[in-house]
Structures are given as structure tokens and as C-alpha cells.
Structure 1
Amino acid sequence: MNVIAPEVAVGDDSPARLERLADLSQQLLERARALGASQAEVSCSEDRGMEVNVRLGEVETVQSTRDRGIAVTVYFGQRKGSASTADLNEASLAATVEQACAIARHTEDDPAAGLADAALMARDFPDLDSWHPWALQADEAVDLALACEAAGREADPQISNSDGASVSSMQSVSVYANSHGFIGRERGTHHSVGCALIAGSGDGMQRDGWYTGGLAREDLEAADHVGRRAAERTVSRLQPRSLPTGSMPVLFAPEVARSLVGHLLSAVSGGALYRQASFLLDSVGQQLFPDWMQIEELPHLRRGLRSAAFDGDGVVTRASALVRDGVLQRYVLGSYSARKLGLQTTANAGGVHNLQLAANAGSLQDIARQMGQGLLVTELMGQGVNGVTGDYSRGAGGFKVENGEIQYPVDGITIAGNLREMFAAIEAVGSDVDPRSHIRTGSILVGRMTVAGND
């Protein structure tokens, strides 16, 4: 893989920015205490970034952003109130705390309300290698975006138009503090280069693209490589066919395979469970997947996209199994949802951190050969997933596979099944992990699904 050469950031002021936010958090907590709150918590964040968009060789936008946000939550016993502001002047901050307190006084008691237990707060804050600022100047960003688009447009004569290319670089610093005396500081960066192209003409036009993203500049693919990859993907979609309705194996490419894990997470997350709105109620200890399936949460993974020493409640994070030998080991809970369910928090307030699926197969091409005949899905459309029943029906596009080889593109089809049955029918997880997501999975082969087409 071609990569952009690393660059050392100059003039890093993130430590000072973090300390300012930490001091501000303490002041807001003291203000809440003075107004009678029995408990309080404050989240402060500050984002900086640049994004450039070009199209057809011309600059469309160059945008520099600086955003701040303060959120205050107070508890009067088990009555809760929250308020937020982006204005850091003293009067606005004081009004925000007062508003949160006023809201709390007018709400009903909630037995599950309150901070997470003090004993669960994080004490150690390891270096997670998440801070890699890129001293990106506007002219450099424009040059990269133009080079990316040009490489894509020149890669194949069938490329007829462009939806543009973009380059972005973001920095975020944040502080979470609460009245247990906990204060946690986080900082992170994320950079990306992307391109979207159009191939063909008239009713036969097809659109696709590619992007690279990561915490560090040196982890990005080269801009010209991104453009050529976008062109390759776009041209490969030309002259698609539909398929006859039937049942067949379905191979999900890595960039869409992670959505299957996303449906699992939605079903085992606290909010869906305590609302009784999940097809996986009372499923801990049940065999949901084949016995070779392993899914681990790795919150302290260095340079992981969602690495964190603590969750949104300040609770210390630890590596743990979500699925072991195909059996669901636990739910995904913050302190509030855990109390609602009479369980212990799993340090997932704010969501999961880095999930990793263990591979039992090789590349996408290897799994296609294993599959023999079936459908390779590279695009999903629509929201046809019922989280209560697990019924699954989504529009899809991709490629027909015959004799283990890709034969032709397909679109205008729907794939359907039930997520419980789909999870149990997984036959392979590839080693071709897509690094652009915190859900680290390769291709996923589901042994049989219903495919509905127009032929």
C-alpha cells in the first residue's frame, strides 16, 4: 500500500486546552453544588478542523471549523436535569447550570438516575496513541484533493464525471468530570481523503467511490491510490443485471459486513433491552453464532478508532469478550441502563469501543472460492431491519459469483432473512479487515439468504 509520508506537528497546544477545559469543568461542578445539587457531571469538548472539497478540477469549498460544547447534568436526589451551551462567557455558563438545576427540580424521581458508582471510576489513563495532529495547510489540502480526483478521472476512459474529492483533518480534545472527584481527559485526531466518481452515460451511469481514514496521517493511503481505487470500483459496476428470486449464500464485503455487527450491538444495548424492544432479550448465555465465533472488545487498543480509558460515565474500561465460542457473554450497558435492568455496567456508556472479530478464513477472494456460487454484496440501501423481531430486508448491490469467481455486477435486488438465523448461518469471517471502522471485521459469509430480483 502506498502511504503519505508522516509529518511531525508543530506548536501542539492540546495540553493547555485540556487543562482549560478541566478547570472549567471544576468551576461548573462547584456551581452546581452551590445550587444544591447532590451530584453533578460535566462534559466539555473542543474540536478544530479543516475540510477541502474539489470537483472537476476546481475548488468548491475550503472550510475551517472550531466548535465547542459544554453539557451539564445535575441530580437532586434521583431527579435529573441537563442543559448545554457553546458559549463560554461567564454569564452563559452560570445560566446553563441554573437551567439544569431548574429542570431537575421539575422532573419526577427516576430510580435509575445518578452517577456511576465512585468505586468504578478509572484511575489509570494509559497512552492510547490517539493523538497525531497534521499541520495541514489549505493549499496542501487542495493539492491533495485535486491529485486524488485527477488520478481517478484519468484511471479509466469510462469515467465520465466526478462527484468530487475531499481532504479533511480533525482534532478533538474533551474532558469529563463529575462530583465523585473524577476528571478524565481525552484527545484524538482523525484524517481522511476520499473521492466519488461516475462512469458510463445516460441510464447506464454508475456511481461509486473510495476513501481512506485514520488517526494518523501515515496510516492513510496515498491520494492518487484513493482516486484509482474509486475509479476501479465505479467502472466495475457498469452494465449491472438483476437476479432471479431465490435462496443462495451471501458474502458481505468488509465495508458492509460491519453493519451486521452493528445490528447485534443495537439488539444487546441497554436502551433496547430495558424498553423490551430487542429480538435478543434474555440472550446472555445463548449460542447465537457458530462455536468458532469470537468477538472481543478492546478499549485500550493503541491507535484504535474508539480506544478509551473510561466510558461516558467515567467507568474504567477493560478488554472483554462479547461473544466467546459463539455464545453471547454480556450485554452492552452504561450505568443507567444497567440499573434499569438490575445488572452491572459494562463500561459502555456512549457505545462500544473497538470490537474485533476473529477470522477463520482468508481474503475475500478466498471466501468467494469457498462459497462457489452466490452473491457478493458491496452496497446496502434502506433501513429494513426490525430490531424487535430481527427481520432483515435491505436493498443491495454487488456481484454474482459463479465457480468461485466474480462474474458480473448486480443491482436492483433485495436480500432478506432473520438476524438470529443469519448469525447462526455465518460460515466464514475473513482476515481482510477494513481498518476504517472501530468494528474490525473482514468479509462475512452467510450460508443462505433470500435474494429477490427482477429477473
Structure 2
Amino acid sequence: MSKAAAKSSSAAARTSAARTAATPKARTGHLPVRYLKGKPADDRPLFDYTRADFEELVRDALRQARRLGASAAVAEVSESSGLAVTVRKGKVETIEQTRDRGLGISVHVGKRRGHASTSDFSPQALARTVQAAYDIAAITGEDPYAGLPEKKFLALGEHDVSGLKLFSPWHVSVDEAIELAREIEAASFAVSSGIANSDGASVSVGHGHFLSANSRGFSGGFPHSRHTLSVGPIARRGRDMQRDGWYSSARAAADLADPVALGRYAAERALSRLGARKLSSRKAPVLFEAPLALGLLGSLVQAVSGSALYRRATFLVDSLGRQIFPDHIDIEEDPFIPGAMGSGPFDDEGVTTHARDVVSGGVLQGYFLSTYSARKLGMKTTGNAGGSHNLRLSSRLTKRGDDFARMLKKLGTGLLVTEVMGQGVNYVTGDYSRGASGFWVENGVIQYPVEEITIAGNLADMYRSIVAVGNDELTRGTKTSGSILIEEMAIAG
């Protein structure tokens, strides 16, 4: 390659990388209306069982547990249906249609607990399942912390979840799902001849409903949905091949990303990685792209969750009320955001959920506790059996103009990380060491992609060294954050 051609190629790579660093176009636009007009292909409902059917099943299970001599019991019954289609290079690779159901019961005999489950809802199978749970409890060792939540913590009474918009059926046919997946993948191939291959594009549709009840008077459940579009294009230049991807997930299909925008953005990400280099070992500021910033938030949840705390297997043991972030960082938990994945009026134990500040001004205000872990710690449940509810990390320093381009300016000269690999997080010590790839940035401008490097630090130091949080917020699952800038980390080439 001539020097002029090499220079042109390098400039193209930087331009593509700059596009990647911009706020993703895949976060704008919505699914075309033609994919939202579907109706059920036949008269068969989404579910085989009604709410009334579920109520009868859990009543019977609890009644049988009491008859056997259980001091307390909790039963949950659920059902789900789904469709998943994958297309690769325009050809259908997989079509999966699922219908699942299950009933589980936990029986308490004093401080002993037994659990059993079944997918057979016949009276005979239900009786055998309850008996099995009771028999297990009878031979299990006593645990002084076992037992149902105290009645005062339970979400008793009726639960109106209509305002939370947790269930939005999507009656897309198999043929329509295939067409949509092809449209997403075709959009990625159309970006450049450099998109030489694909790991495929997928469309998944999921619906479910459940009912949980216990012997202390709690009974609650609701239908829910989750739909996802994804694509994984592969870019090639000579012998260099790079893969990247993107996805969009929502409870309502109307909130999914535009398929063309999604395919194009995924392709731009893959192309921007071509020509990646290694870095020499150094220390430098590190900017975590928003999807990876969510991983840092997830690490916090794990470190201050009950099971880690009572086992003292976390670097944040006894951290309640302590300054663990800079004073400009806040983390809020809100279980009542309409359409959000982590919304709901109660947790997996039926405990009432509450909006709260987890971190305020950098100070840890609360843990994530179930009834069991709270008792082990001599505390009260926080309504987090089953996990966190809609966490949002923010900075009081963030301004309206702090988009991703501005965050690159704040980074100055350092590393933009767009992918991490491996499980290199030690929650006992907080040590953090992950394989990484991304882009080297100088004076706020992306220079070239990098790969085969390692970033290392300690989560306690990383949290305290957060310099800025972007307003390029991304929500995935139950967590929301913009990009996060860490003052300095070790980089090994």
C-alpha cells in the first residue's frame, strides 16, 4: 500500500470511529408501523391459563401444604410463550417457538425449608410436588433466618399495574419476523462493501404472566413482555476482520429501534474497529462507553447485595453511610417507571418496593437485601429479592451539552473502552482486570482503534475517581447510565 493510500485508509478509520463515538443513531427512530399491525394467526390466546386458573392452583398448593403440617408456605405459578427467529446472510437459520409453564412451592416446617417444582398442573402432580417439598423440609437442617417476610413488609391487597405498562403483546408472525431480521441485516451490509459477513440478525418476542401467593396473605402477579432486535455484522479489510453488534430491547415493540438505523449503527461499529493496534503499557484516563458503564453499576449492586455482605465477601462490607463515590454522584432506584424492565409493585418475595436513593452525594444510603440476607445482617429487607429495580447513575456536574463528543473532549488523551472481556473482577478485594478493546484518543479526537490490551485498577479507587458522567444515557435491563470517565487506570499492552 502506498503512503497516500495508507494515510487515506487511516483517515477513513478515524472518521468511522468518530461516527461510532457519536450518540448512536440506533437509539432514535422506532419500529415501522407495518410490523406493529399484526394480529394473532389463529384464535389461540397467548396463554393457556387465566389469572383465575393460577389463583386456584396456588390456593390448592397452599391448602395442601397446611394439611401436611407446614407452618408457612409460598407458591408461584408462571407461563410464557415466545418466538425467536435468526437470519444469517439473508437465509433463515433458526425459528423457535416456545410455550413453557411451571409451578414451584416452598414449604416451611418451623425453621426448616423445602422446595419442589413441576410443569404438570394436574391434581396428582400438584399433590406429589407439595409432598416432595414437605419431605425435603422435614430432613433439612434448621436455619434460624429462614421464613417468610413479616406481614408488615408484604404488598397486601390489590395491585394495579396498568400504569406501569409491563405488558404489550406483539402479534408478529413468523414471516414478518423473518422479514424484519432480513431488513436489519441488509441495512448493515448496505453500509459498506467492507461488511463481508455476519453472525446474523435476530428478532425475539416474549410474553409471560405469573402469580405468587403465600400463607401470610400475599397474592400478586401480572403479565409481562420483552421483545428484542439484534445484529452482529463482521467487517473485513484484507486479512483484518472485526466483529461488533448492537441490540434494542423493550416491553413494547413500538419502542424498539428502527431496524435500518440499528443495522447501520452495528455495521459502523464493526468497521470502526478495523486496523486495531496494541498499546504499550501506561497509565491514562479511561472513558467507559455507556454499555460498559452499566457494567460498573452492576458491579456495585453485586458488591452491596445481601449475600456478599453477610458472607463478608465484598470490598464494600460495612460501607453503609460511607463515601464510596465523589460527592457529585447519585444513584436512584425507582420501581415505578412505566415500561421499564425493573418495574413492579413488589419483589420476588411479595415485599413492597419503594423508590429510594441508593447513593446520594457519593454516600452509600442503602444495600440490596432480601428477607433472608436482611435477617443475617440484623437489618430490614429493602424489597430487592430478585435484584435491583431501575437504577440510574448520574452526576450533578453533567450539563445538557455533555454528549459523547464532549465526553471525548473531557477525556483529552486516553483510552475509550467499547468492549471488555473475561471475568477479572474480584469482589472480595475489589481488584479489577479485564481484557479490553476500544480507541486511543488524543486531544479529544479518536486516533485509531486498539485491541489486545488489559485495563486494571481497583473498583473502590475507580468509583472514587469518576470525573464525569455523560448525558448520552443508555438503558439496558434494569440499569441506566451515560458514559463514565475514570481519572486514571493502568493499561497493559
TM-score when scaled to structure 2? 0.89
Aligned counterpart, 1:320 = 356
Task: Identify which of 98, 106, 127 aligns with 2:139.
Answer: 106
In the other structure, the counterpart of 1:452 is: 492
Deviation at 1:430, TM superposition (A): 1.3
Residue 433 of structure 2 corresponds to residue 397 of structure 1: no
Cα distance in 1 between the residues matched to 2:88 and 2:368: 42
Task: Find the aligned partners of 1:125 and 1:357 in 2 and give their Cα distance.
Answer: 28
Pairwise CA distance, 1:201: 5.3
Q: Hey, what's the Cα distance between the residues in 2 that align with 1:218 and 1:407?
A: 37
Displacement, 1:436? 2.7
1:4 aligns with 2:31: yes
Structure-2 separation of matches of 1:407 and 1:188: 45
Matched with 1:383 is 423
In the TM superposition, what is the alpha-carbon distance from 1:2 to its structure 2 partner? 2.1
Task: Specify the SS of the correspondent of 2:50.
Answer: helix
* Equivalent position of 1:29 in the other structure: 62
Letter in 2 for 1:371: L
- Paired position in structure 2 for 1:75: 108
User: Which amino acid is the alignment partner of residue 44 of structure 1?
Assistant: V
Alignment of 1:143-292 (within 5 A): 143-200=179-236, 203-292=239-328
User: Deviation digits for residues 102-135 of structure 1, max 9, x if unmatched?
Assistant: 0000011101000000111113524211111101
Q: Which of 338, 353, 374 pairs up with 2:414?
A: 374
The percent of aligned pairs where both chains have the same amino acid is: 47
Structure 2 counterpart of 1:177, which letter? A
Offset at residue 21 of structure 1 (A): 1.6
Letter of the 1:323 counterpart: V
Alpha-carbon spacing, 1:309–1:8, altered in 2? closer, same or farther (3 Å): farther
Give the Cα separation in 2 of the matches to 1:308 and 1:90. 31
2-side partners of 1:87 and 1:366: how far apart?
57
Tell me how far 1:260 sits from its aligned partner.
0.5
Cα deviation, residue 390, structure 1: 0.3
Q: 1:437, CA displacement in angstroms?
A: 2.8
Give, in whole Å, the separation in 1 of the partners of 2:266 and 2:333: 31
- Aligned partners of 1:214 and 1:436 also within 8 Å: no
- Is 1:20 aligned to 2:53, yes or no? yes
Q: Which amino acid aligns with 1:50?
A: L
Q: Which of 425, 435, 450 lines up with 2:475 in the alignment?
A: 435
In structure 1, the partner of 2:97 is 64
User: Partner of 1:97 in structure 2?
Assistant: 130
Asked if the contact 2:226/2:252 (under 8 Å) is kept, the reply is: yes
What one-letter code is carried by the residue in structure 2 that aligns with 1:256? L
Quick check: 1:9–1:133 contact (8 Å CA) kept in 2? no
For residues 7-50 of structure 1, the C-alpha deviation after alignment (integer angstroms, 9 at most, x for no partner) is 47757666962332222111111111111100000121111100
> 1:430 and 1:201 mapped to 2: Cα distance?
32
Distance in 2 of aligned mates of 1:450 and 1:113 = 44
Q: Give, as a single letter, the amino acid of the residue that structure 2 aligns with 1:376.
A: L
SS at match of 2:295: helix
Q: 1:117 maps to what in 2? A: 150
SS in 1 for 2:408: helix
- Alignment coverage as a number of residue pairs: 453
Aligned residue in 1 for 2:171 = 135
Q: Distance in 2 between matches of 1:5 and 1:45?
A: 32
Matches within 5 A, 1:352-367: 352-359=388-395, 360-361=397-398, 362-367=402-407
SS of the equivalent of 2:132 reads helix
Task: After superposition, give the CA deviation of every residue in 1:396-428 in whole Å (9 maximum; x if it has no partner).
Answer: 111111111111111000000000000000011
Q: Once structures 1 and 2 are overlaid, which stretch shifts more, 87-96 or 69-78?
A: 87-96
| Secondary structure of 1:200 counterpart | strand
Q: CA deviation at 1:371?
A: 1.5
- Partners of 2:176 and 2:38 in 1: CA distance: 15
Rounded Cα–Cα distance in structure 1 between residues aligned with 2:46 and 2:78: 15
Distance 2:288 2:492 in 1: 16
1:344 to 359, 373, 380: 380
Question: Match for residue 365 of structure 2?
Answer: 329
CA distance in 2, matches of 1:9, 1:139: 11
- What amino acid sits opposite 1:4 in the alignment? L
Structure 2: gaps (5+ residues): 1-27
Q: Report what 2:454 is aligned to.
A: 414
Once residues 190 and 113 of structure 1 are traced to their aligned partners in structure 2, the CA distance between those partners, rounded to angstroms, is 33
Q: Could you report, residue by residue, the CA deviation over 1:200-259 in whole angstroms, capped at 9, with x for unpaired residues? A: 156411111111111111111111211111110100000101111111111000111111
- Residue 471 of structure 2 aligns to which amino acid in structure 1? S
Aligned to 2:82: 49
Distance (Å, rounded) in 2 between the aligned partners of 1:151 and 1:131: 29
1:174 aligned partner, one-letter code: F
**8 Å CA contact retained: 1:385, 1:393:** yes
My pick for the range that moved more, 203-212 or 161-170, is 203-212
Give the residue type in structure 2 aligned to 1:377. V
RMSD of aligned Cα (Å): 1.5
Output the CA distance in 2 between the equivalents of 1:20 and 1:431: 46
d(CA) in 1 for partners of 2:76, 2:473: 33
Deviation at 1:376, TM superposition (A): 0.6
Asked if the contact 2:46/2:207 (under 8 Å) is kept, the reply is no
Q: Is the 8 A contact 2:246 2:265 kept in 1?
A: yes
DSSP-derived class of the 2:82 partner:
strand
SS of equivalent residue, structure 2 residue 78: strand
Judging changes above 3 Å, is the alpha-carbon distance between structure 1 residues 15 and 428 closer, same or farther for their aligned structure 2 residues? farther
CA drift at 1:300: 1.0
